Amino acid sequence: MRKPLPWKTAWVTGASTGIGREIVLQLKAAGVRVAASARSPEKLAALGPGVLAIPLDVTDAKACHFAAEQVEAELGPIDLVVFGAGTYAPVAADNIDPDLFAHTMNTNYMGVVNCLAAVAPRMTARGSGHISWIASVAGFMGLPKAAAYGPTKAALINLAECLEPEMKLKGVLISVINPGFVATPLTAQNDFEMPFLMQPEEAGRRTIEGLAAGRFEIAYPRRFVAILRTLRALPYPLFFRLITRFVLKAK
Query: Catalytic positions, please?
Result: 149
Half-sphere exposure of 90 (CA within 13 A, CB side): 11
End-to-end CA distance of the chain: 45
d(Cα 149, Cα 104) in Å, to the nearest integer?
Answer: 7
What does 168-230 look like in DSSP terms, one character per residue? Answer: HHTT-EEEEEEE--B-STTGGG--S--TT-B-HHHHHHHHHHHHHTT-SEEEE-HHHHHHHHH
d(Cα 25, Cα 191) in Å, to the nearest integer?
Answer: 29
Contact 79, 8 (CB under 8 A): yes
What does 115-176 look like in DSSP terms, one character per residue? Answer: HHHHHHHHHHHHT--EEEEE--GGGSS--TT-TTTHHHHHHHHHHHHHHHHHHHHTT-EEEE
d(Cα 179, Cα 62) in Å, to the nearest integer?
Answer: 29
- Residue 100 exposed, middle or buried by CB count within 10 Å (0-12, 13-18, 19+): middle
